[in-house]
Amino acid sequence: MEHAEARWRLGIDIGGTFTDIVCLDGNGRLLTRKVSSSVDNYARAIVEALAGLIAEGAFAGRDIAELRHGTTVASNAILEGKGAKTGLIATEGFRDILEIRNLRMPRLYDIAWQKPPPLVPRYLRRTVAERVTHDGRTQAPLDPEEAEAAVRRLLDEGVEAIAVALLHSYANPAHEDIVAGIVERLAPDVETSISHRVLPEAKEYERTSTTVVNACLKPVVSRYLAGLEEGFADIGTRAPLLLMQSSGGLMPSQAARNLPMHIVESGPAGGVIGAQALARSAGLDNVLTFDMGGTTAKASIVEGGTVSRALEFSVGAGVIAGSRLMTGAGYVVKTPAIDLAEVGAGGGYLLRQDAAGGLQVGPDTPGAETGPGRDRAGGTEPTLTDANLLLGYLNPGHLIGGALKLDFEAAREAFERCVAQPMGLAPEEAALGAHRIAASNMIRAIRAVSSERGRDPRDYALFAFGGNGPLFAAGMARELAIRTVLVPPSPGLFSSFGLLHAEVEHHYSHAHRRILRGADPAGLEAAWAALEAEANVQLEADGIPPDRRTLARSAQLH
Task: Kindly tell me if the per-residue pLDDT of 3 is higher than 50.
Answer: no
528 vs 363, residue with greater confidence? 528
Length of the chain: 558
Task: Kindly tell me if the per-residue pLDDT of 397 is higher than 80.
Answer: no
- 54 lies in the same domain as 146: no
Cα atoms in the Cβ-side hemisphere of radius 13 Å centred on 318: 10
* Alpha-carbon distances of 32 from 344, 394, 493, 545, rounded to whole Å: 27, 20, 8, 31
Q: 101: which DSSP letter?
A: -
Task: Kindly tell me if the per-residue pLDDT of 287 is higher than 70.
Answer: yes
Closest CA to 328 of 314, 339, 341, 317: 314
- 210 lies in the same domain as 227: no
Contact 159, 190 (CB under 8 A): yes
Return the pLDDT at 50.
96
Domain count, the chain: 4
Flag whether 324 is in a domain.
yes
Return the pLDDT at 376.
46
Mean pLDDT calculated for residue range 436-443:
91
- 388 lies in the same domain as 289: yes
Task: Kindly tell me if the per-residue pLDDT of 379 is higher than 80.
Answer: no
Mean pLDDT calculated for residue range 390-394:
89
- 416 lies in the same domain as 529: no
Flag whether 497 is in a domain.
no
- 257 lies in the same domain as 332: no
Flag whether 488 is in a domain.
no
**pLDDT category, 496, cuts 50, 70, 90?**
very high
**pLDDT category, 180, cuts 50, 70, 90?**
very high
Dist CA 480 CA 476 (whole Å)? 6
Which of 219, 234, 254 is the last residue before a domain boundary?
A: 219
Return the pLDDT at 113.
75
Mean pLDDT calculated for residue range 436-453:
91
Residue type for position 107: R
Dist CA 532 CA 538 (whole Å)? 10
- 476 lies in the same domain as 542: no
154 vs 453, residue with greater confidence? 154
- 161 lies in the same domain as 200: yes
Return the pLDDT at 469.
92
Which of 441, 458, 483 is the last residue before a domain boundary?
A: 483
Dihedral over Cα of 318, 321, 326, 329: its sign: positive
Task: Kindly tell me if the per-residue pLDDT of 171 is higher than 60.
Answer: yes
Task: Kindly tell me if the per-residue pLDDT of 324 is higher than 70.
Answer: no
**pLDDT category, 316, cuts 50, 70, 90?**
confident
Flag whether 177 is in a domain.
yes
* Burial (0-12, 13-18, 19+ Cβ within 10 Å), 436: middle
Return the pLDDT at 401.
64
Return the pLDDT at 137.
95
- 3-state SS record for 438-482: HHHHHHHHHHHHCHHHCCCHHHCEEEEECCCHHHHHHHHHHHHCC
Return the pLDDT at 333.
94
**pLDDT category, 2, cuts 50, 70, 90?**
very low
Element of type H or E holding 532: helix 521-541
- 295 lies in the same domain as 431: yes
Dist CA 120 CA 163 (whole Å)? 10
- Which pairs count as long-range contacts for 391-395, CB under 8 Å and 24+ apart, including other chains? 391/428, 391/431, 391/432, 391/435, 393/471, 394/471
- 356 lies in the same domain as 448: yes
Assign residue 402 the CATH number of its domain.
3.30.420
Flag whether 524 is in a domain.
yes
Which of 263, 293, 327 is the last residue before a domain boundary?
A: 263
Mean pLDDT calculated for residue range 482-511:
92
Mean pLDDT calculated for residue range 362-381:
59
Closest CA to 407 of 395, 420, 393: 395
Return the pLDDT at 328.
59
- 19 lies in the same domain as 163: no
- 200 lies in the same domain as 328: no
pLDDT tens digits along 66-119: 999 999 899 889 988 899 999 999 999 999 999 998 877 766 777 777 788 999
Q: Name the most confidently modeled range: 138-142, 447-451, 465-469.
A: 138-142
Mean pLDDT calculated for residue range 371-393:
74
Contact 335, 261 (CB under 8 A): yes
Helix, strand, coil abundance in the chain, percent, nearest 5: 40, 20, 40
Flag whether 272 is in a domain.
no
Mean pLDDT calculated for residue range 397-422:
79
Task: Kindly tell me if the per-residue pLDDT of 551 is higher than 80.
Answer: yes
**pLDDT category, 367, cuts 50, 70, 90?**
low
Instruction: Give the structural domain span for 544.
Output: 516-548
Task: Kindly tell me if the per-residue pLDDT of 368 is higher than 60.
Answer: no
Assign residue 48 the CATH number of its domain.
3.30.420.40
Task: Kindly tell me if the per-residue pLDDT of 505 is higher than 60.
Answer: yes
Flag whether 186 is in a domain.
yes
Query: Inter-axis angle of helices 174-186 and 144-156, to 10 degrees?
Result: 50
Task: Kindly tell me if the per-residue pLDDT of 370 is higher than 70.
Answer: no
- 308 lies in the same domain as 369: yes
Flag whether 278 is in a domain.
no
Average per-residue pLDDT in the chain?
88
Task: Kindly tell me if the per-residue pLDDT of 341 is higher than 60.
Answer: yes
Mean pLDDT calculated for residue range 318-323:
48
**pLDDT category, 226, cuts 50, 70, 90?**
very high
Return the pLDDT at 323.
46
pLDDT tens digits along 288-307: 999 998 778 899 999 999 99
Return the pLDDT at 327.
57
Contact 502, 248 (CB under 8 A): yes
Return the pLDDT at 107.
67
Dist CA 235 CA 213 (whole Å)? 33
Mean pLDDT calculated for residue range 261-280:
93
SS3 338: strand
